[in-house]
Chains A and B, each alone.
Chain A
Amino acid sequence: MKFVGVSSCPTGIAHTYMAAEALEQAALAAGHEMHVETQGAAGSVALDPQLIAEADAVVFAADLEVKDRERFAGKPIVDVGVKKAVHDPTAVIAAAVEAAEAEVARVAAGGAAAAPVAAPATKVSANAGTGARIRQWLMTGVSYMIPFVAAGGILIALSFMIGGYEIVDTDIVTDVIEGFSITSSLSWGALLFHVGAATFAFLVPVLAGFIAYAIADRPGLAPGFVGGALALVVGAGFLGGLAAGFIGGFIALWISRWKVPKGVRGVMPVVVTPLIATFLTGLAMLVVVGPPLKAVSDGLTSWLGGLSGSNLILLGVLLGLMMAFDMGGPVNKVAYAFAATGLTAAGTAALAGAPEFRIMAAVMAAGMTPPLGLALATAVRGALFTEAERENGKAAWLLGASFITEGAIPFAAADPLRVIPSLMLGSGITGGIVMAFGSGLRAPHGGVWVTPLISQPFGFIVAVIVGTVITALAVILVKGLRRPPATDAVVAGQEDRSAVTA
């Protein structure tokens, strides 16, 4: 049989390795094959997923929580302490054989083999390089955020389909809580929209909270979540959320390393660290990050206002770049607000080709291509993305089509330096093309669901398709330039492994 295992102990320098060696030797003596991942102080080398897939059973000889436990989901597990593995490895191997045979019997008796769960990478290996660790922190936040993006985005997209774009003007109290009518499509649309909007309110806090959690473990949760919520308050969007996650995480990590008297040590992780770290993170977000952000946003707004009447194609490119820069952050908001307020100013009487309507069309098209382009990229080059990102890519089709730019945030948050410029390229070109075709739009929301309100819809759709393809090509190109750092970490780890077994 083939087994895999994980060993760990409080100090991480002796029993972790003795248990691994004892188990591997006992397995060999009994005619089996076993590989043990030592989660000790010398850093752990992740087991090859292939070995896990082939394993008949898994042994946890771990006194600490097994890292990335979800990798072993669906396998029969023998959970013993590290001591048992050192003292009586033969009995542990016998138990593993028994567990494996029981699983075979269960499947033969008609039980479905438990499907391995495609789990997001949510923990950070201690010996990874700085770049790989930053990526793992980001991926932790992103993997917890994705369900909120998919659920909230699809709910909002459905609300547009059922209730039209004006559904955003419904009131949660009068139209849903008090006025819900089971036969009214407006009620259902409003319900979907407001639940979706509530879900979306979690995006940035969850992103920030779990980045901080990856950095500082549980004491990072409160400062991270609060920092993320405050990033929304100051209008800093998901980039502000990334900053909040790192600020909250590192403050919590720093405080948790303070040398404190024994009596206080017990209340540090649950009271003192979250309390101080949350306060300092809040201070940083509101007093340090907030004011300059507001100045930038005010400055951009007045600058854009001054550009009215200049070359519309260039304005379309500029708005497109802004839409894709931070997806819901200050720059995106300025561009969107510029278009939406123009719409209000123009009123309903203006002609179809009025510049205000053309600006709105350019802004909407440029806000649709980021999720659509990433959806296309995950569809044609899935290997460049994580499993969680590929899943998110499927939802991104609907989100992009519905002008829910947030569908692109998980990708941008996980790999901002490669993804954001690619998105800006596609969106900038899209904005310019829409202007060139002269398409106009009278609605501030809705995506493809408001196509009837678009003048020259053919040009609009061509622009979106071109932008989607360019975005996808750009993302594939820049991501393909380098193997993902996650792979680098494994390779580096394998050198450690040869050192241990040599």
Chain B
Amino acid sequence: MSTTPLITADLVALDLEAADRDEATRALVDLLHAQGRVTDPDGFLADVRAREAQMATGMPGGIGLPHARSVHVTVPSLAVATVPAGVDFGAPDGPATLIFLIAAPAEGDGDHLTILAALARRIVRESFRTSLLEAPDAATVAEIITREVVLP
């Protein structure tokens, strides 16, 4: 199994300001690109938009969950942003303040997909979301996720 962690502090943007979901997603894609986890930011962003167009990924609890499986992704990755002002992700109960961008390679291997599955399950839990929103810094956010979402 790969030793690359799903998320590091470099992939967390606290108190992001974004006018809309595209801008917020773009900011997170740039973080992934800077870390070499996405080879072509524009191509990956297009894949995420295509997925978003099928069905909005906003969900109750102020969550935006843009995601895609894409050939432009080298390592399964997660980038997280908190957006105190909120940005609309199409959820029925209002704008998202916590945004997860999931980047999965087109040919994902089982372990990583299982980790992403575990992450998706955690996101549904309010205690998990609260702990991320209340985290003091980027390193803590990365640490909480890494601790909660691991293979046994």
Contact = CB atoms under 8 A, between A and B. Distances in A.
Contacts of B125: 21, 25
B102 interface: yes
A21 B124 contact: yes
Given A11-B68, A83-B55, A87-B60, A17 B110 contact: no
A499 B114 contact: yes
B62 to A, nearest CB: 13
Contact of A502 (B67, B116, B152): B152
A40 B55 CA distance: 16
B67 A11 contact: yes
A86 B65 CA distance: 12
Interface string B109-141: 010011011111111110000000000000000
A139 interface: no
A324 to B, nearest CB: 41
A83 B90 CA distance: 12
Given A11-B67, A14-B102, A498-B152, A42 B121 contact: no
Contacts of B69: 11-13, 41
Nearest to B108: A41
Contacts, number: 93
Nearest to B47: A11
Nearest to A86: B59
Nearest to A126: B110
Interface residues of B, number: 30
A16 B152 CA distance: 21
Nearest to B116: A13
A13 B120 contact: yes
A42 B114 contact: yes
B19 interface: no
Contacts of A21: 120-122, 124-125
Nearest to B54: A10
A17 B121 contact: yes
A38 B59 contact: no
Interface in B34-92: 51, 54-55, 57, 59-60, 65, 67-69, 91-92
Nearest to B103: A13
User: Which 4 A-B pairs have CB atoms at the shortest separation, nearest pair first?
Assistant: A17-B120, A42-B113, A21-B121, A502-B152
Interface of B: 51, 54-55, 57, 59-60, 65, 67-69, 91-92, 102, 104, 108, 110, 113-114, 116-125, 151-152
